[in-house]
Amino acid sequence: MLVFWKEKIVFLSVPKTGTTAYQAALAPRATMVVTDPPELKHAPLYRYNRFFRPMFDKVGGADMETLAVVREPISWLGSWYRYRRRPFMEGRPNATHNVSFDAFVEGYLQGKPPGFANVGSQAKFLEPRPNGTAVTHLFRYEDQPELRRFLEDRLNVTLELTQENVSPQMSLDLSPEIERRLRRKRPEEFALWESAAR
Protein backbone atom coordinates (compact mmCIF):
# COMPACT_ATOMS: atom_id res chain seq x y z
CA MET A 1 0.00 0.00 0.00
CA LEU A 2 1.20 3.47 -0.88
CA VAL A 3 -0.14 6.66 0.69
CA PHE A 4 0.29 10.04 -0.98
CA TRP A 5 -0.91 12.50 1.65
CA LYS A 6 -0.56 15.77 -0.24
CA GLU A 7 -2.33 14.36 -3.30
CA LYS A 8 -4.95 12.65 -1.08
CA ILE A 9 -4.73 9.22 -2.66
CA VAL A 10 -4.03 5.69 -1.39
CA PHE A 11 -2.81 3.01 -3.82
CA LEU A 12 -4.18 -0.35 -2.62
CA SER A 13 -2.01 -3.32 -3.53
CA VAL A 14 -4.19 -6.08 -5.03
CA PRO A 15 -2.00 -9.23 -5.26
CA LYS A 16 -0.87 -10.35 -8.72
CA THR A 17 -1.75 -7.05 -10.45
CA GLY A 18 1.76 -5.65 -10.95
CA THR A 19 1.62 -3.26 -8.02
CA THR A 20 5.07 -4.25 -6.70
CA ALA A 21 6.66 -2.51 -9.70
CA TYR A 22 4.70 0.68 -8.95
CA GLN A 23 5.63 0.40 -5.30
CA ALA A 24 9.33 0.17 -6.19
CA ALA A 25 9.07 3.19 -8.51
CA LEU A 26 6.89 5.35 -6.26
CA ALA A 27 8.15 4.49 -2.76
CA PRO A 28 10.57 7.46 -2.62
CA ARG A 29 7.67 9.77 -3.58
CA ALA A 30 5.11 8.31 -1.15
CA THR A 31 4.27 9.67 2.29
CA MET A 32 3.78 6.17 3.67
CA VAL A 33 4.88 2.82 2.25
CA VAL A 34 3.45 -0.34 3.79
CA THR A 35 5.56 -3.35 2.76
CA ASP A 36 5.17 -5.70 5.73
CA PRO A 37 3.47 -7.75 6.96
CA PRO A 38 1.73 -8.99 3.79
CA GLU A 39 -1.67 -8.61 5.50
CA LEU A 40 -1.04 -4.84 5.61
CA LYS A 41 0.94 -4.48 2.37
CA HIS A 42 -1.98 -6.17 0.61
CA ALA A 43 -4.66 -4.67 2.85
CA PRO A 44 -8.04 -5.14 1.16
CA LEU A 45 -10.58 -2.35 1.14
CA TYR A 46 -12.31 -3.65 4.29
CA ARG A 47 -8.99 -3.55 6.20
CA TYR A 48 -8.18 -0.09 4.82
CA ASN A 49 -11.65 1.04 5.94
CA ARG A 50 -11.27 -0.44 9.41
CA PHE A 51 -7.71 0.59 10.28
CA PHE A 52 -6.24 3.17 7.93
CA ARG A 53 -9.22 5.35 6.95
CA PRO A 54 -10.20 6.23 10.56
CA MET A 55 -6.59 7.20 11.26
CA PHE A 56 -6.48 9.43 8.18
CA ASP A 57 -9.87 10.95 9.03
CA LYS A 58 -8.60 11.98 12.47
CA VAL A 59 -5.71 13.98 11.01
CA GLY A 60 -7.59 15.75 8.22
CA GLY A 61 -7.66 13.08 5.51
CA ALA A 62 -11.41 12.57 5.25
CA ASP A 63 -11.18 13.32 1.53
CA MET A 64 -8.60 10.58 0.78
CA GLU A 65 -9.31 8.71 -2.46
CA THR A 66 -8.35 5.12 -3.22
CA LEU A 67 -6.86 3.56 -6.33
CA ALA A 68 -6.61 -0.11 -7.27
CA VAL A 69 -5.73 -2.30 -10.23
CA VAL A 70 -7.80 -5.33 -11.21
CA ARG A 71 -6.75 -8.09 -13.61
CA GLU A 72 -8.86 -10.14 -16.00
CA PRO A 73 -9.88 -13.10 -13.80
CA ILE A 74 -8.46 -15.96 -15.89
CA SER A 75 -5.18 -14.08 -16.33
CA TRP A 76 -5.14 -13.33 -12.60
CA LEU A 77 -5.61 -17.01 -11.74
CA GLY A 78 -2.96 -17.92 -14.30
CA SER A 79 -0.51 -15.57 -12.62
CA TRP A 80 -1.15 -17.17 -9.23
CA TYR A 81 -0.77 -20.64 -10.77
CA ARG A 82 2.57 -19.73 -12.38
CA TYR A 83 3.77 -17.89 -9.25
CA ARG A 84 3.21 -21.00 -7.14
CA ARG A 85 5.17 -23.07 -9.65
CA ARG A 86 8.50 -21.37 -8.98
CA PRO A 87 11.30 -23.90 -8.29
CA PHE A 88 11.66 -23.17 -4.57
CA MET A 89 7.92 -23.85 -4.07
CA GLU A 90 8.31 -27.53 -4.95
CA GLY A 91 7.05 -29.76 -2.14
CA ARG A 92 5.13 -27.01 -0.35
CA PRO A 93 1.39 -27.45 0.25
CA ASN A 94 0.47 -24.45 -1.93
CA ALA A 95 2.75 -25.39 -4.85
CA THR A 96 1.17 -26.09 -8.25
CA HIS A 97 3.93 -28.28 -9.77
CA ASN A 98 1.81 -31.43 -9.88
CA VAL A 99 -1.51 -29.73 -10.66
CA SER A 100 -2.91 -28.79 -14.07
CA PHE A 101 -4.32 -25.30 -14.62
CA ASP A 102 -7.80 -26.84 -14.96
CA ALA A 103 -7.39 -28.59 -11.59
CA PHE A 104 -6.11 -25.35 -10.05
CA VAL A 105 -9.21 -23.44 -11.20
CA GLU A 106 -11.48 -26.32 -10.12
CA GLY A 107 -9.85 -26.12 -6.67
CA TYR A 108 -10.38 -22.35 -6.63
CA LEU A 109 -14.10 -22.89 -7.22
CA GLN A 110 -14.53 -25.16 -4.21
CA GLY A 111 -16.25 -23.85 -1.09
CA LYS A 112 -13.03 -24.45 0.83
CA PRO A 113 -10.20 -24.34 -1.73
CA PRO A 114 -7.18 -26.60 -1.26
CA GLY A 115 -3.98 -24.80 -0.24
CA PHE A 116 -2.62 -24.59 -3.78
CA ALA A 117 -5.77 -22.80 -5.01
CA ASN A 118 -6.52 -20.64 -1.97
CA VAL A 119 -5.77 -17.24 -3.56
CA GLY A 120 -8.66 -15.09 -2.40
CA SER A 121 -10.82 -12.92 -4.61
CA GLN A 122 -10.29 -9.59 -6.34
CA ALA A 123 -13.99 -8.81 -5.94
CA LYS A 124 -13.87 -9.50 -2.19
CA PHE A 125 -10.62 -7.53 -1.87
CA LEU A 126 -12.31 -4.45 -3.37
CA GLU A 127 -15.85 -4.97 -2.10
CA PRO A 128 -17.47 -1.62 -1.13
CA ARG A 129 -18.12 -1.20 2.57
CA PRO A 130 -21.56 -0.55 4.15
CA ASN A 131 -20.41 2.95 5.22
CA GLY A 132 -19.89 3.93 1.56
CA THR A 133 -16.12 3.44 1.38
CA ALA A 134 -15.34 2.21 -2.13
CA VAL A 135 -12.47 2.31 -4.59
CA THR A 136 -12.44 5.73 -6.21
CA HIS A 137 -10.21 4.91 -9.20
CA LEU A 138 -10.16 1.37 -10.65
CA PHE A 139 -7.82 0.48 -13.50
CA ARG A 140 -7.36 -2.64 -15.59
CA TYR A 141 -4.00 -4.37 -15.30
CA GLU A 142 -4.16 -4.84 -19.06
CA ASP A 143 -4.23 -1.06 -19.64
CA GLN A 144 -0.92 0.00 -18.13
CA PRO A 145 -0.68 3.21 -20.21
CA GLU A 146 -3.93 4.54 -18.68
CA LEU A 147 -2.83 3.71 -15.12
CA ARG A 148 0.59 5.21 -15.74
CA ARG A 149 -0.89 8.37 -17.25
CA PHE A 150 -3.18 8.82 -14.26
CA LEU A 151 -0.37 8.37 -11.73
CA GLU A 152 2.03 10.64 -13.58
CA ASP A 153 -0.59 13.39 -13.82
CA ARG A 154 -1.88 13.03 -10.26
CA LEU A 155 1.55 12.77 -8.62
CA ASN A 156 3.43 15.00 -11.07
CA VAL A 157 6.12 12.38 -11.71
CA THR A 158 7.69 10.54 -14.64
CA LEU A 159 7.59 6.84 -13.89
CA GLU A 160 10.51 4.50 -14.54
CA LEU A 161 9.11 1.02 -14.01
CA THR A 162 11.07 -2.22 -13.67
CA GLN A 163 9.67 -5.73 -13.61
CA GLU A 164 9.25 -6.98 -10.04
CA ASN A 165 7.95 -10.21 -8.54
CA VAL A 166 7.23 -11.69 -11.98
CA SER A 167 5.67 -15.15 -12.33
CA PRO A 168 7.48 -17.65 -14.59
CA GLN A 169 6.31 -17.53 -18.21
CA MET A 170 4.40 -20.54 -19.53
CA SER A 171 1.49 -21.20 -21.84
CA LEU A 172 -1.75 -21.90 -19.99
CA ASP A 173 -5.00 -23.15 -21.47
CA LEU A 174 -8.25 -23.40 -19.57
CA SER A 175 -10.73 -25.91 -20.93
CA PRO A 176 -14.02 -24.39 -22.19
CA GLU A 177 -16.02 -26.35 -19.61
CA ILE A 178 -13.93 -25.10 -16.65
CA GLU A 179 -14.07 -21.56 -18.02
CA ARG A 180 -17.88 -21.78 -18.23
CA ARG A 181 -18.00 -23.00 -14.62
CA LEU A 182 -15.69 -20.19 -13.51
CA ARG A 183 -17.84 -17.55 -15.21
CA ARG A 184 -21.03 -19.08 -13.79
CA LYS A 185 -19.76 -19.47 -10.21
CA ARG A 186 -17.72 -16.25 -9.97
CA PRO A 187 -19.59 -13.65 -12.07
CA GLU A 188 -18.60 -10.92 -9.59
CA GLU A 189 -14.94 -11.32 -10.58
CA PHE A 190 -15.70 -10.66 -14.23
CA ALA A 191 -18.16 -7.87 -13.42
CA LEU A 192 -15.48 -6.07 -11.39
CA TRP A 193 -12.99 -6.27 -14.24
CA GLU A 194 -15.63 -5.07 -16.72
CA SER A 195 -16.38 -2.09 -14.47
CA ALA A 196 -12.76 -0.89 -14.44
CA ALA A 197 -11.64 2.09 -16.53
CA ARG A 198 -10.99 1.37 -20.19
pLDDT averages per 10-residue partition of the chain, 198 residues: 96 94 93 89 94 93 94 97 92 92 97 96 96 95 95 94 74 94 98 88
- Comparing CA positions, the residue from 14, 5, 7, 12 lying closest to residue 57 is 5
Residue type, position 63, single letter: D
pLDDT score for 13 = 96
Cα–Cα distance between 8 and 5 in angstroms, integer? 5
pLDDT at residue 171, as a whole number: 84
In the chain, alpha helices (H): 19-26, 38-41, 45-47, 53-58, 73-83, 101-108, 122-125, 144-155, 176-185, 187-195
Q: Return the exposure string of 129-149: e unless at least 16 CB atoms fall within 10 Å of the residue's CB, then b.
A: eeeebebebbbbbeeeeebbe
pLDDT at 165: 67
**Termini Cα distance of the chain:** 23
Q: What is the pLDDT of residue 99?
A: 95
Query: Which pLDDT belongs to residue 185?
Result: 98
Q: What DSSP designation does 169 have? A: P
| pTM, rounded to two decimals | 0.92
Residue 61: the pLDDT is 84
Tally Cβ neighbours within 10 Å of residue 24. Answer: 15
- CA distances (Å), origin 122, targets 6, 154, 178, 188, 196: 28, 24, 19, 9, 12
pLDDT at 164: 67
Residue 63, CA distances (Å) to 5, 41, 54 in order? 10, 22, 12
Q: Give the model's pLDDT for residue 36.
A: 86
